[in-house]
Amino acid sequence: MREISLGYWVAQEQYPPDRLLDLAVHAFVVGFDTIVTSDHFHPWRDKGGHSAHPWIWLAAVAERLKDAEIGTAVTTPLFRYHPAIVAQAFATLDYLYPGRVFLTVGVGHAMNEVPLGFQWPGYREKVDRLRESIEVIRLLWEGEFVDYEGKYYRLVKAKLYTKPRSRIRLYVATADKRVAEIAGMYADGILTNPRGLESYEAVVRAMEEGAKKAGREASSLSRCMEFKVSYDPDYDRALAGALFWAPTAIPREKREKVADPRELESMVGEEEVGRIKRTWLITSDSDDIYRALGEFLKLGFSRVFVHSSSPSEEKFLNLLGREILPWVREYYQSLRIPIRVTSE
C-alpha cells in the first residue's frame, strides 16, 4: 500500500517553544505523523517574532511523541552551521530516535547568517557550498575517518564517533533547477512549493536528470510539499493570520540585502500583501482546502507539510484531524501514482 506522510510545520519564528510543543502534541493527536520545524537565527519580523533553537526543540518533541517522525525545513549548512556540526547533531538525534529523523537543507537567507558576522555571497557560491555540504554530511554519516578537500570545506581525518543508527533521510529545499539536480545526485528528494506549475515541473525534471547522472533510480526520490494555509470562518481574520509572513514575500533581490527583522517588517507594502494572497491559501471555506490538496496530490507529492498561520490554530488542527487528514490519506490511495520505494 502506498503511504503518504502528513507533516505539521511548526514555525519557530512565530511562537515561543513551549507553545510550539503544545501545538506539535495536538497535531500528532489529531493524526499528523510528522513534525517539521523551521531553522532560523532571526525571525522574519521583529514584532511577535521568536527564534528558539530547533534541534533542541526537536529532541523535546521526540521525547513526548514516541512514534512521530521529526525533522527540519530548512537547515542551512553553509556558515553559522558547519556541515560537520550538522552531521553530528542529526546523527545524535537519530542515535536517540532511530528511524524517525530527517534533515532538509537549502541555501538559506542572509538574515540568519549576516548577524553572526558572515559575508553573504552570491547565489552561485551558495549553491556550490550546498553541494559540498551535502557531500560532507553524507561522508561523515557513512564513513570512518574522513578526509575532504573542497573549495569551501575541508575535513582532516574527521570521524563521527556517535553514528546514526539508521539511514537519515536528507531532502533539499529548492525551486531552482540547478539545486534540484544536486538533490537528484546526492539527496532523497526535494521540498518545493507547487504553486508555479511550470517551474515545478522543470524542477522535478532536473532532479530526475541529476539522479540519472549519478546512476540512481529517480522513482525512489520523494517530492515534499509545503502547503501554506490560513483558515478562519472570518476571511479577514484568516488574511491577518497569513500576513504575519508578509516579509517572506519581499523580492529575494531586496531581502537578501537585509538581516534586521525590523527593517524587513518595514519593507512590507501592497506588493508583498498581494503576493501573500497569491501564494497562500487564505480561506473561510474548508472546501477550498480539499480542492487545493487534491490538485497537489495529483502532482505526485508523497510528503505534505501543512504550514498554517490560522488565527485559532487549535481549532484548525481539530478540523484537519476530524475531516481533512482522513480524506487526504484515502484520496492519495485512490490515485494511480506509481509506488515510490524510499531507501532506508
The predicted structure's pLDDT at residue 337? 59
Q: What are 278's three cell numbers?
A: 497569491
- Cα–Cα distance for residue pair 25/8, rounded to 1 Å: 10
Judge contact between 135 and 147, C-beta under 8 A: no
**Neighbouring C-alpha atoms within 13 Å toward the C-beta of 285:** 4
| Domains annotated on the chain, with CATH | 5-334 (3.20.20.30)
- Cα–Cα distance for residue pair 51/150, rounded to 1 Å: 31
- Cα–Cα distance for residue pair 101/106, rounded to 1 Å: 17
The predicted structure's pLDDT at residue 336? 65
Q: What is the pTM of this model?
A: 0.95
Q: What is the pLDDT of residues 16-35, one digit of tens each?
A: 999 999 999 999 999 999 99
Q: What residues pair up with 154 in beta bridges, in sequence order?
A: 149
Q: What is the largest CA-CA distance in the chain?
A: 59
The predicted structure's pLDDT at residue 338? 54
Q: What is the pLDDT of residues 132-142, one digit of tens each?
A: 999 999 999 99
DSSP code, position 320:
I
Percent helix, percent strand, percent coil in the chain, to nearest 5: 50, 15, 35
Beta strands per DSSP E along the chain: 5-10, 34-37, 69-72, 101-105, 146-149, 154-158, 169-173, 189-192, 222-231, 281-283, 303-308
The predicted structure's pLDDT at residue 339? 44
Cα–chain-centroid distance for residue 332?
Answer: 21
The predicted structure's pLDDT at residue 252? 93
Low-confidence ranges of the chain (pLDDT < 50): 339-344
Q: What is the pLDDT of residues 219-276, one digit of tens each?
A: 999 999 999 999 999 999 999 999 999 999 999 999 999 999 999 999 999 999 999 9
